[in-house]
Structure 1
């Protein structure tokens, strides 16, 4: 049983005009699905097609070379105005059917693989429920005005046990159904390499080395790369490590060298005009820049952006500190092992890292008060 997710995008398996040599077929029949078309994506980035929808119904067929995750979203959802999310692994030689209500719940059925997938889907719905309900209750408490730091402390204490209970339910299911090819889709639930390897070990040899390997192996490979990057980040972002020097172009097109700020406390702010959380944090950043004016400097490092969008964002949000542009061929992100945005690295007057904070975290401002409010 799938649950319609009321948020930004509709993620769905594909629907394309029937191909003569198609080896995968999907039929969708949803109430309260009012869009007249669906955009078809392979993964989240590769657009495959646009499919017409009539009265909530559409079909999709394709000649797949291997199993892959497909995503469907309505044009409205693509623009950020949609309210329905759905994704589906598309497997050669299989037929899937989706029926139900786009605003509430819908079922996935079809050939043998999708019958198994339905069981996996029900498992995950049940396994996730306790943790999901707990997180929802915390969000409500934050909305009601309870201190975010208090909530986070409680979450850090209670969440591990809930996560373990969820994982145990998943692993128990796979132990009971090692021959289910659909169990290979569970890898999407994990980002921890050790959990992925445990899941892999529970699969039968036929599933482990069969057609679904093309679906799950890239997830394991990506998780290993993330783990390596995190290990590197622990070393290069650690307190006391000398911040790697670099030279990038400032907003006027002149070379700007990080080491030119030696003697000042510096905040390296890795951000982008496309990053919602980065932009959301700018008012607070401006407040603190004014609060401790002259006591420190911010060096904004714009990443994964065009120069035009970078300059426009600096102008639009009236960001008064120093800005440099990080081009795609730059090594700066790699040298600092930046994995998410925003990432703020506080550097002392001698060029040594004090602390690295990822995300728009109140802890960053607490740190500035500790360092600059002396």
Structure 2
């Protein structure tokens, strides 16, 4: 847990907080009923860190240390914003307080909680920009998820009504994407726009060609040291480096299940399938028996390499592999200091990449279907 300082801030100036690597976020939110809200950040390895913030009469005030610039979300436990379906819920972004933290930031939230978090950040250019964007897209995102909840709860049962609801969801989602891309074009020097482009690439909300076009319009001089922009640069480099016919980027990592350093280059001479997956990803896990089947089918001709993207320190990944010994092919844990998800510009899970014996990429498949297995059968027929 991060160390919290819930004390008056009158004695601290933003410059002092910047020197100490601290940020502050506060707000008075109508309808915030809970006494505690949770905040999720990441440590230097990319593992999730959970902390809590006290709330009194809708008011919260939180400060903590941070090394660079990071997008952070508060999750209020108000039942009104929980998009529940059966035993689960839809993790809607419009149900969170989102802001950008950095050393010296003093972020202020204002607004209310209805059936979504109708409250937005301000206090500096990055948060002012993010707040202005979210104020437009949050209501649309909320409309979309509310329709999804109705379908999920069988509130809508008529087939024609369900079809219309799905069409409306698609229309709303496309409108949100269009607003986001317009925002990026209109804010070429904004840290919020740099974060947004990286997030859209990660979620496959923008085509590769459009992502490159948006990237080229960004103000490199003003953003060149910005962490969000640097991540976008790496994603763009990953796109360019992992097109069909290009040499597969190096994977050389000590973060392995067998605790022995793994080097992709050592597998030259065989076909290799690199599988980007996570224990949290249902389709990734459900596809593993088929991967095992094909590894056995073409034993000696091909190798499998799993690259797991996990939000914790890897405990869930190790526990999963401990319990599933059939999946003990080469298994690597993605870490921030060796971010192969970024290097390969992976934007959906699972993503499987076929590398030929010369080390060149000959196939890229997103999602769990039979396309990659048909390709492997063609290769080895």
| Residues in 1 aligned to 2:193 and 2:364: alpha-carbon distance in whole angstroms | 33
The correspondence of residues 155-234 of structure 1 with structure 2, limited to 5 A, is: 165-166=178-179, 170=183, 174=186, 185-191=192-198, 192=211, 194-195=213-214, 198=217, 200=219, 217-234=226-243
- For the 8 Å contact 2:242–2:248, the answer to whether it is kept is no
Partner of 1:316: 323
Partner of 2:289: 286
Deviation at 1:327, TM superposition (A): 8.8
| TM-score after normalising by structure 1 | 0.56
| Residues in 2 aligned to 1:281 and 1:58: alpha-carbon distance in whole angstroms | 39
| TM-score after normalising by structure 2 | 0.55
Partner of 1:151: none
Structure 2: unaligned runs, 5 residues or longer: 15-23, 83-87, 160-166, 199-210
Deviation at 1:224, TM superposition (A): 1.8
SS of the residue corresponding to residue 354 of structure 1 reads: strand
The correspondence of residues 1-374 of structure 1 with structure 2, limited to 5 A, is: 16-19=6-9, 20-23=11-14, 26-31=26-31, 33-39=33-39, 41=41, 50-60=52-62, 69-73=71-75, 84-89=95-100, 96-101=108-113, 103-108=115-120, 119-125=132-138, 133=144, 165-166=178-179, 170=183, 174=186, 185-191=192-198, 192=211, 194-195=213-214, 198=217, 200=219, 217-234=226-243, 238-239=244-245, 266-271=272-277, 275-277=279-281, 280-287=283-290, 289-290=292-293, 293-296=296-299, 297-302=302-307, 310-320=317-327, 322-325=329-332, 333=340, 337-340=343-346, 342-347=350-355, 353-358=361-366, 360-362=367-369, 365-372=370-377
RMSD of aligned residue pairs (Cα, Å): 6.1
| Residues in 2 aligned to 1:93 and 1:251: alpha-carbon distance in whole angstroms | 39
SS of the residue corresponding to residue 190 of structure 1 reads: helix
Deviation at 1:85, TM superposition (A): 1.2
- Shifted more, 18-27 versus 296-305: the winner is 296-305
- For the 8 Å contact 1:188–1:219, the answer to whether it is kept is yes
- For the 8 Å contact 2:242–2:249, the answer to whether it is kept is no
- For the 8 Å contact 2:321–2:328, the answer to whether it is kept is no
Q: How many residues align?
A: 318
| Residues in 2 aligned to 1:253 and 1:90: alpha-carbon distance in whole angstroms | 35
| Residues in 2 aligned to 1:162 and 1:352: alpha-carbon distance in whole angstroms | 38
- For the 8 Å contact 2:292–2:326, the answer to whether it is kept is no
| Residues in 2 aligned to 1:245 and 1:95: alpha-carbon distance in whole angstroms | 39
| Residues in 2 aligned to 1:66 and 1:287: alpha-carbon distance in whole angstroms | 42
| Residues in 1 aligned to 2:62 and 2:275: alpha-carbon distance in whole angstroms | 45
Bigger radius of gyration, 1 or 2? 1
- For the 8 Å contact 2:239–2:344, the answer to whether it is kept is no
| Residues in 2 aligned to 1:368 and 1:247: alpha-carbon distance in whole angstroms | 27
| Residues in 1 aligned to 2:49 and 2:361: alpha-carbon distance in whole angstroms | 42
SS of the residue corresponding to residue 361 of structure 1 reads: coil
- For the 8 Å contact 2:41–2:49, the answer to whether it is kept is yes
- For the 8 Å contact 1:52–1:58, the answer to whether it is kept is yes
- For the 8 Å contact 1:265–1:295, the answer to whether it is kept is no
Deviation at 1:318, TM superposition (A): 4.1
